[in-house]
Structure 1
Amino acid sequence: MKRAFERPVLAQLSRRVAFAMGGHRSKLMLMALLMAGSAAYAQETYPVNGIASPREGCVAFTHATLVKDAQTTLNNATLVIRNGKVVDAGPNAAIPKDAVVVDCKGKYIYPSFVDLYSSYGLPDGKRSPFSWNAPPQFLSNTKGAYGWNQAIRSEVNAGALFNVDEKKAANIREAGFGTVLTQQEDGIARGTAALVTLADTKENLAIIREKAAAAYSFDKGSSTQNYPNSLMGSIALLRQTFLDAQWYKSQPAKEGVNLSLQAWNENLQLPQLFLTADKWDVLRADKVGDEFGVQFIIKGGGNEYQRIPEMAATKATFVLPVNFPGAIDVEDPTDARFVSLAEMKNWEMAPGQPAAFEKANIPFCLTAAGLKDIKQFLGNVRKAIEYGLTEQKALEALTKTPATALKAYDKVGSLEPGKLANFLITSGPLFREQTVVLQNWVQGNRYVIKEDGWNDIRGSYTLSITPGTTLNIDIKGTPSAPTLSVIQPDTLSGRIDVTDKLVTLSLPLSKKGRNNLRLSGLIGAGNWTGTGVDTAGNPVKWTAVFVKAIADKPAVVKEAAAITTGELYYPFNGYGWEKLPQQQDILIKNATVWTNEKEGRLENTDVLIKGGKIAQIGKNLAGGNARVIDGTGKHLSAGIIDEHSHIALSRGVNEASQAVTAEVRIADVLNPDDVNIYRQLSGGVTASHLLHGSANPIGGQSQLIKLRWGQNAEALKVTGWDPFIKFALGENVKQSNWGERNNVRFPQSRMGVEQVYVDAFTRARDYEKQGPGKRRDLELDALVEILHQQRFITCHSYVQSEINMLMHVADSFHFRVNTFTHILEGYKVADKMKAHGAGAGTFADWWAYKMEVQDAIPYNAAIMHNVGVVTAINSDDAEMARRLNQEAAKSVRYAGVSEDDALKMVTLNPAKLLHVDNRMGSIRVGKDADVVLWSDHPLSIYAKADKTIVDGIVEFDREYDLQLRKRIAAERSRLTQKLLGEKKKGTPTQKAAFTREEMYHCEDLQGGHQHDIVNK
């Protein structure tokens, strides 16, 4: 049985005959026949319905300014194409005898653009609406021999799903693109992306490379599966899948057939493309890639310019969007208050991102992805050029760089023999504002973008009107926008409209004349002819004979005014630094020093800081060249350490989808831009222990950070500390407060919680005993670390029975619970905790906010402390952390704890609980210079942190903070005026909208496809 017949060749040609290149119609028909005939001829396995016409199409474009690539521009050159490919290009290119010759005098020819990020021709991922009424889904519902997680779709083959879409292709071609890398935007592992052209041809001819790249993201897309439900879960899934694929490759018999892992391994041979949302996602993706020896091509989110050194360090090629943020309407001050300074500055500075990458020598491509209207693309590229991007680099970013990144520079990206005939014909230099893209040729097929302006009709003409009138007219303007003048003693302005070869003229005969000659006709090679009506409405015939060309005045290229923007801030926030502060030697003199050591409080004492450490403590110290800070009348304490915090995190604090998620890592999702870092520095906090939430019995791995304001995520992390993990007990883990649908995931009772622990550690013990060739399991790796006292537990807890239960489980498996946090019934079991070796992190006086805290008392911390349990006061709240000194003071008020011991509850004791008391928590020679200079007694409600110092760097200075507030006001005022100016010019604006901060507590859940708060 034969396949379905191709459409008749001549029927295909009928659409391509109308040609606006000058010359005879027969010549154009011949050219169309040649071009379409070559396309039909190329499909040798397809039968022809009609008479076979295996002709070759050859076209020579002469007298053009030929831009072969970003480095090579040739004047008066010829481009020869045959069968959809470039045959020759250059000033001396030979014109074959069978070639159709197209005169491109005055035109420019460029390689068509290549877009490295597109979903053209592919079905959208069908994102299912999230519903709290639907039961949880624990395994993939994809039918077939695929992997367990629905978001891992490495088996998807874009080439097999691809369909030519003529309408969408036409829109993308208008922006100058001839080739795109297309992927299905769905899932964390998205399978392969196909490199395709934008030709209106059959799919098998449009596909350049079926599998051109493998695609990834942190977004699980259409997956209805619960896991992952957080960013850290997405990263953990990626990491585990890399390991599983390696194991599957070496031990296939143990898994059977797993098409997802099989495809994953095959795809690793391809270029690897990763979609990210912002600058921090870039670093997260790059870190995962580095772990497994993969160099990603990274599609950025648009704010990467804010961290150029970090971007350069990735060694990645970037795909940069030009969907620059639109101007915001700030005319109404009530609305304007919702707009942050960071949003304003990003609007101003984002167009400079490509220039910043060029200046830093970071390879990058440009993409139209994210634009609401792709017609804005070239305009936005020109805007990037106004902001400092060079035209040469812009063209390279649209041609050679993307082609090279995909290892497809032998196919596309320049105009060299053997490459696809993908090129643009423009009216002038591509990136000049007045330049028009006339045609976009893809695989040797011509697509008209703008017909008007192909022929330069400008010049002087003699217009003869029958009967008896002769006029001299001049046509000036530009080829795409001509203007008409009637030459008389008084030159009169008329009107001319040109569409293809059709022309209409409106000619005044006198200044006072109310009626004009109205003519229409056809533009010929030299003469124009047509009909019309005179001023009285009588029919006339007319001809126009070309007399001479009008010499263009040399174009006056105005020097573009340099665009100035505000300064970058680190972090990109109103309170950020223009330049990161440096560590310095500091001498603090005449302060009351709360040492937290056996020396106690020292009056009128000096502290010398050198190299980020406490160097000397004493009176009348000499600091040499150290910066001197007068501490007279002030108090100096160790920096506050928050043992339980959830600040500075991105996209979820709970991976709530499973009972055990020990594989997820808070370290993967740090957000250094969180203003709560600065706010807490203002309250004397110098370090925070960032914990996973309390949604499951065994949560994720935690991260201790120092509040190094302005640094990147890696620089926030405290290195060389014992790793910790979050466990939880109580109502949250058994989902009693999650709603009616959550009655499926085990555990559903407090008895079940115990069995989760027993099962998890039994599995971990068995896993450890397995021999060579075992599958590495990141979840069990973390539990094995606990068994060997290499990772330590912080456990969310309230009720004494559960606290006893977990200590019993720990004793059974021979490990120790390091810290019970919250623990509002700790006073009931303090003796047992001391015997077990557990410490406590608790609230000073929170109670009665849910059922399991009804027995909380304000003496809890004091009772545990008096029994000998190392006790800390913590926050679990971004706001409370700013006044932990006052929370500590409550134990003095409620229970008579000494002032020194109370202060230790937020300094030395949390350091002990976190195993860093050899470095932090007290003022002792050799310890880290993490100190706070208070205006008053540190436990007083009147005390303010005047200066907060971390590692010898003044991270917060109250006097400087006042200067920053003035800077913020001035910068807001400047940007407000600039935005108002944009609106006045008629620039489209967007409504000001409130942006919600990401602030988390233990119970916060990020469910499905939205951020939901449970029992906050």
Structure 2
Amino acid sequence: MFKRLSTLLAGISLSIFCYGQETFPQNGAYDERPGRYAFTNAVIVVDSRTVITNGTLLIENGIIREAGKQVKIPSGTVITDLKGKYIYPSLIDLDSDYGMPEVRRMPSAGSRQTPQLESNKKGAFGWNQAIQAENDASELFVPDTKKAADLRKLGFGTVLVHDHDGIVRGNGSVVTLNEGPANTAILIRKASAHFSFSKGSSSQTYPSSTMGVVALLRQNYYDADWYAKAEKSKETNISLEAFNQIKTLPSFFETNDKYSLLRADKVGDEFGVQYVIRGGGDEYQRLNEIKATKATLIMPLNFPDAYDVADPWDADLVSMSELKHWELAPKNPAEIAKAGIPFALTSAGMKNRSDFWKNIKTAINYGLPKEKALEALTTLPARLMKAEDKVGSLKTGMLANFIITSQDLFDKDNIIYENWVQGKKFILAPIDAPDIRGTYSLSLNNQSTGKLQITGSVEKPDYKVILRDSVKITPKTILTDELLTLTYQPDKSKSETIRLTGWKSDTGLTGEGKLPDGSVVPWTAVLSEKFQASAAKDSLKADSVQTGKILYPFVGYGNEELPKSETVLIRNATVWTNENDGILQNTDVIVQNGKISKIGKSLSAPSGARTVDGSGKHLTSGIIDEHSHIALFTINEGGQSSSAEVRMSDVINPDDINIYRQLAGGVTASHLLHGSANSIGGQSALIKLKWGASQNEMLLPEVKTIKFALGENVKQSNWGDIVRTRFPQTRMGVEQVYFDHFLRAKEYANRWKTYNAASKKSASGAPRRDIELDALAEILASERFITCHSYVQSEINMLMHVADSLNFKINTFTHILEGYKVADKMAKRGIGGSTFADWWAYKMEVKEAIPYNAALMYHEGITVAINSDDAEMARRLNQEAAKTVEYGGVPEAEAWKMVTLNPAKLLHIDNRTGSIKSGKDADLVLWNTNPLSIYARPEFTMIEGAVYFDRKKDEEKQKSIAAERERLIQKMISDKAEGKPVQKPQSSQPRMWHCEDIVGIHAEQEASK
């Protein structure tokens, strides 16, 4: 039974490829056999577009000599007749840690370790441990027998390996999965450059956020460019030298979701680098934006399990986006292929690598063409790592890296028999196993016992013992060489086991068995009926699996189609113009092309206009929140006293449900600020709340602002003794931070001015580009505007003194709860105040706050805004504005300006929004009553002529969400009933950010997935 291969063929696996180590001495006689093998009568898949039927593959010394129909086979060649089996190129994985050292991750947030401000790495390296451009994968690589075997079992023969540690990870190497030493496995030493947004093992304080990571990477590009051009006598930096060497290589960037993918591409665009980007599996949710990057992607196949939602309370823990992603994730590769985006597939990141082929076949069932799947595992990855002349196809002169399969690679029942790597055979399944499938009459000790039924595939049979009373038992089976052992319990209640060992005979199977009493008896299994295999399913065609629709954004209240700008006539409304006309009664407003076209009475509707009856209703410009932290993945980069280099635009989260909630409260724009962890925070971002739009479509890039902060938070002196390391620790130190940074920024700007004015510019003499000082120099040039977190009078006076001394302007003091004490000084300097209506006594710094603050500043002539700094309060800023009427007697029209026109002025966008005036953006809200009433609520909220919130449609959405949730829950319950794996629901709540919130970068990135 199960006849072994001939001795000659068995010798193939013993071949040692001495030619690969010609510079190494050998202890013993040299074996320099040519290793010449021919595989005949095979279906040879040369690549995804070329198939040779009934062909021959000839290899010699680990190299493919020829593949074709008429191949002349030299004498002395070992010939294997494959009898119609398939030969494919071995697969390639572009994201592998095979042979690389294990990464020791940085401590998690909350570990309360003493801050590490400087690098602990000894030597003339860069200043930040997360930049490890000097890492050379070929020097770190150590072959790992077990991992190599696991990857070969899946069909891989070549992998691109790199050290998965840090933001800049050094170079990668192309290696094969043979069992020789590293010298024979490494094909290309310096094949690629690798990047990520993860700090890896670095425990250095900076960066502490994703936006800090991006800023550090940007600065590293600028520093490397300066280092390459500057006089070498300035300094020696091994990290920058290495970076300049690897940045010319193909660059690969690891990301974990759709937005980090877009973020990586944005960095690449800034420096003229087109990254190959490893995604997170949710790219289908923002496909148009991802296609626009023109990046080639590396796609993981880690599809989520269904949630165990049988318990209704557990089901409530699962968000709509999680429910829908479970259903749609397997469709991701098909959607990527359909969009024409080039991509490779990887086994990296899989919870169970054994699911690799199951998930590929699932993706094919969801519409992925098998030709694209093969290309994504062979020719395309070979091309990306510039090894297409060595691996990825079966052409003359290439490495003999191939797999032998029973049938089409993507067929449900396909078996990978052998994986040849550099001409060396690795057996994965017996290629010559006889077909023993069928139904047998089973006898023990010459007494009929029942039946033995063998089904499944030839290589992996399934066994059932059927006793006379029709009891079916699945025996434990061991198949070793020519022996078959079956172990089963005829009666489980008695825990008695029968053990049978046998071999193939002329009539079936025969052997000896041991009964529960220990007696040894003969047994036979006589074939009574041969196995009838069912017709093989055509694996060349992808099935069409029905799924729900993609939403924009991909959350419950997302849109199936994005809102479009309309032509609208709003009739007979009370119009709060915020202009000299004041509040107009029974007035019409026409919206066209995203702008306010006309304002007046009895206006004629333009052609194709939709008419809205505004009778008894109030039309206002949209609310603008001057101080917000919604729609962000993180808000604080607290690693250093100044983080002027970071940009909130790098961490905009368009999926934040607070965008939709605030649209329901009439908010149309939000000024997204850095937190207050340091004296000089990051560059702010102003967005319009275009629900479902892209990050770029939401952003107003022309608005250049920055967050500063005063008070308790920036000092960190109240964080506990263990973290009292970072300067400043006192309010006096905060003042020195400002003086120091602005003096340096002034000198920096002067150096550039002198350089740019020179008639002859030398690249080696150019100042080093510093993106932190760039932002501060923009403040000095009145090109960037300060919003400063502030509370007490003394510190407000201090910063005004610093600004006066260094000749820069403070645009806005935010919070400013003691603004009433310094209103005259602010008015004199033209400084605005963005404050809370009536927050006080929530910490010592606000113990002297009063609800009359906004009114008192207003009466001093200050441009006053009422802000939220709170995701919940922003939904009712109309009521916050109303409090200034109650506290201080501010006129209604002026109170309303505090949440519309005044923040627009403070943000320098009042030329386009903040009031109802012809030519301005149609950012409008139609209220059911006076907007300052506690009973007011928006009927609709419009941005640039498109309705992003409609109360009636919201009611319809709620019904459709309930129905869609139930459909998906029932589908998950069905999966569980079928025995498919499920995961336990985990409670997760969206983060409601406040100024002081800081989380570790790992927690932040996990939350963004």
TM-score by shorter chain over 0.5: yes
Aligned match for 1:181, one of 160, 166, 183: 160
After superposition, residues 833-852 of structure 1 pair within 5 angstroms as 833-852=826-845
Q: Does structure 2 conserve the Cα–Cα contact (< 8 Å) formed by 1:150 and 1:225?
A: yes
2:318 — aligned with what? 339
2:721 — aligned with what? 740
Aligned match for 2:86, one of 100, 103, 108: 108
State yes or no: 1:690 paired with 2:668: no
* Of 865-874 and 432-441, the range deviating more from structure 2: 432-441
Q: Does structure 2 conserve the Cα–Cα contact (< 8 Å) formed by 1:452 and 1:500?
A: no
Q: Matches of 2:847 and 2:476 in 1, distance apart?
A: 86
After superposition, residues 495-514 of structure 1 pair within 5 angstroms as 499=479, 501-504=481-484
Secondary structure, counterpart of 2:714 in structure 1: coil
Q: Matches of 1:52 and 1:703 in 2, distance apart?
A: 69
Q: Does structure 2 conserve the Cα–Cα contact (< 8 Å) formed by 1:451 and 1:500?
A: no
In structure 2, relative to structure 1, the CA distance for the partners of 1:725 and 1:434 (3 Å cut) is: same
Q: How many Å apart are 1:732 and its aligned residue?
A: 1.0
Q: Does structure 1 conserve the Cα–Cα contact (< 8 Å) formed by 2:711 and 2:731?
A: yes
Q: Does structure 2 conserve the Cα–Cα contact (< 8 Å) formed by 1:874 and 1:884?
A: yes
Counterpart code for 2:935: Y
In structure 2, relative to structure 1, the CA distance for the partners of 1:107 and 1:843 (3 Å cut) is: same
2:292 — aligned with what? 313
Q: Matches of 1:516 and 1:657 in 2, distance apart?
A: 68
Q: Matches of 1:590 and 1:920 in 2, distance apart?
A: 22
Secondary structure, counterpart of 2:74 in structure 1: coil
1:78 — aligned with what? 56
After superposition, residues 204-283 of structure 1 pair within 5 angstroms as 204-283=183-262
Q: Matches of 1:466 and 1:745 in 2, distance apart?
A: 84
Secondary structure, counterpart of 2:41 in structure 1: strand
Counterpart code for 1:775: R
2:744 — aligned with what? 763
1:610 — aligned with what? 592
Aligned match for 1:629, one of 570, 593, 612: 612
Q: Matches of 2:768 and 2:888 in 1, distance apart?
A: 53
In structure 2, relative to structure 1, the CA distance for the partners of 1:501 and 1:859 (3 Å cut) is: same
5+ residue gaps in structure 1?
1-18, 487-492, 508-514
Q: Matches of 2:455 and 2:721 in 1, distance apart?
A: 76
* Of 370-379 and 770-779, the range deviating more from structure 2: 770-779
Aligned match for 1:908, one of 901, 904, 908: 901
Secondary structure, counterpart of 2:413 in structure 1: coil
Alpha-carbon displacement from aligned partner over 1:245-279 (angstroms, at most 9, x marks no partner):
00000014254211100111100121100011111
State yes or no: 1:63 paired with 2:41: yes
1:980 — aligned with what? 973
State yes or no: 1:376 paired with 2:358: no
Q: Matches of 2:37 and 2:386 in 1, distance apart?
A: 28
Q: How many Å apart are 1:314 and its aligned residue?
A: 0.9
Q: Matches of 1:59 and 1:125 in 2, distance apart?
A: 41
Secondary structure, counterpart of 2:332 in structure 1: helix
Q: Matches of 1:979 and 1:461 in 2, distance apart?
A: 40
* Of 440-449 and 347-356, the range deviating more from structure 2: 440-449
Secondary structure, counterpart of 1:895 in structure 2: coil
* Identity among equivalent pairs (%): 54
Secondary structure, counterpart of 1:699 in structure 2: strand
Q: Matches of 1:580 and 1:868 in 2, distance apart?
A: 42
Q: Does structure 1 conserve the Cα–Cα contact (< 8 Å) formed by 2:793 and 2:822?
A: yes
1:439 — aligned with what? 418
Aligned match for 1:919, one of 891, 908, 912: 912
Q: Does structure 2 conserve the Cα–Cα contact (< 8 Å) formed by 1:703 and 1:717?
A: yes
2:953 — aligned with what? 960
Q: Does structure 2 conserve the Cα–Cα contact (< 8 Å) formed by 1:129 and 1:1009?
A: no
State yes or no: 1:28 paired with 2:9: yes
Counterpart code for 1:563: V
Q: Does structure 2 conserve the Cα–Cα contact (< 8 Å) formed by 1:134 and 1:741?
A: yes
Q: How many Å apart are 1:543 and its aligned residue?
A: 13
Q: Matches of 1:895 and 1:474 in 2, distance apart?
A: 90
5+ residue gaps in structure 2?
466-471, 488-496, 756-764
Secondary structure, counterpart of 2:360 in structure 1: helix
Counterpart code for 1:736: S
In structure 2, relative to structure 1, the CA distance for the partners of 1:62 and 1:696 (3 Å cut) is: same
1:731 — aligned with what? 712
Q: Matches of 1:533 and 1:804 in 2, distance apart?
A: 96
In structure 2, relative to structure 1, the CA distance for the partners of 1:453 and 1:961 (3 Å cut) is: farther
2:624 — aligned with what? 641
Q: How many Å apart are 1:323 and its aligned residue?
A: 0.2
Counterpart code for 1:56: P
State yes or no: 1:777 paired with 2:755: no
Alpha-carbon displacement from aligned partner over 1:772-827 (angstroms, at most 9, x marks no partner):
51101111111111111111111111111111111111111212101000000000
1:796 — aligned with what? 789
Q: Does structure 2 conserve the Cα–Cα contact (< 8 Å) formed by 1:351 and 1:387?
A: yes
Q: How many Å apart are 1:21 and its aligned residue?
A: 8.3
Q: How many Å apart are 1:666 and its aligned residue?
A: 0.6
Q: CA RMSD in A?
A: 3.3
In structure 2, relative to structure 1, the CA distance for the partners of 1:124 and 1:517 (3 Å cut) is: closer
Q: Matches of 2:439 and 2:58 in 1, distance apart?
A: 33
In structure 2, relative to structure 1, the CA distance for the partners of 1:551 and 1:103 (3 Å cut) is: farther
Alpha-carbon displacement from aligned partner over 1:79-122 (angstroms, at most 9, x marks no partner):
12222221221222222212211221142111111011111111
In structure 2, relative to structure 1, the CA distance for the partners of 1:601 and 1:73 (3 Å cut) is: same
Counterpart code for 2:101: P
Q: Matches of 1:542 and 1:754 in 2, distance apart?
A: 94
Alpha-carbon displacement from aligned partner over 1:917-958 (angstroms, at most 9, x marks no partner):
111111111111011000111000100011000000001000
In structure 2, relative to structure 1, the CA distance for the partners of 1:32 and 1:221 (3 Å cut) is: closer
Q: Matches of 2:914 and 2:26 in 1, distance apart?
A: 84
Q: Matches of 1:244 and 1:890 in 2, distance apart?
A: 51
Q: Matches of 1:736 and 1:551 in 2, distance apart?
A: 78
In structure 2, relative to structure 1, the CA distance for the partners of 1:828 and 1:169 (3 Å cut) is: same
How many residues are aligned here? 972
Q: Matches of 1:445 and 1:247 in 2, distance apart?
A: 48
1:7 — aligned with what? none
Aligned match for 1:201, one of 172, 176, 180: 180
Q: How many Å apart are 1:739 and its aligned residue?
A: 2.1
Q: How many Å apart are 1:549 and its aligned residue?
A: 11
Aligned match for 1:351, one of 313, 321, 330: 330
Q: Does structure 1 conserve the Cα–Cα contact (< 8 Å) formed by 2:744 and 2:773?
A: yes
In structure 2, relative to structure 1, the CA distance for the partners of 1:47 and 1:870 (3 Å cut) is: same
Q: How many Å apart are 1:516 and its aligned residue?
A: 12
In structure 2, relative to structure 1, the CA distance for the partners of 1:806 and 1:223 (3 Å cut) is: same
In structure 2, relative to structure 1, the CA distance for the partners of 1:90 and 1:475 (3 Å cut) is: farther
Q: Matches of 1:483 and 1:367 in 2, distance apart?
A: 30
Aligned match for 1:949, one of 942, 945, 949: 942
Q: Does structure 2 conserve the Cα–Cα contact (< 8 Å) formed by 1:1005 and 1:1011?
A: no
TM-score, reference length from structure 1: 0.91
TM-score, reference length from structure 2: 0.91
State yes or no: 1:672 paired with 2:654: yes
Q: Matches of 2:796 and 2:139 in 1, distance apart?
A: 56
Q: Matches of 2:507 and 2:160 in 1, distance apart?
A: 47
Counterpart code for 2:564: Q
In structure 2, relative to structure 1, the CA distance for the partners of 1:540 and 1:665 (3 Å cut) is: closer
State yes or no: 1:1005 paired with 2:962: no
In structure 2, relative to structure 1, the CA distance for the partners of 1:466 and 1:380 (3 Å cut) is: closer
In structure 2, relative to structure 1, the CA distance for the partners of 1:755 and 1:992 (3 Å cut) is: same
Alpha-carbon displacement from aligned partner over 1:945-977 (angstroms, at most 9, x marks no partner):
110000000010000000000010000010010
State yes or no: 1:587 paired with 2:575: no
In structure 2, relative to structure 1, the CA distance for the partners of 1:356 and 1:454 (3 Å cut) is: farther
Secondary structure, counterpart of 2:723 in structure 1: coil
State yes or no: 1:117 paired with 2:95: yes
Q: Does structure 1 conserve the Cα–Cα contact (< 8 Å) formed by 2:556 and 2:961?
A: yes
Secondary structure, counterpart of 2:807 in structure 1: coil
Q: Matches of 2:42 and 2:528 in 1, distance apart?
A: 24
1:578 — aligned with what? 560
Q: How many Å apart are 1:484 and its aligned residue?
A: 10
Q: How many Å apart are 1:134 and its aligned residue?
A: 2.6
Counterpart code for 1:910: P
Q: How many Å apart are 1:206 and its aligned residue?
A: 1.0
1:806 — aligned with what? 799
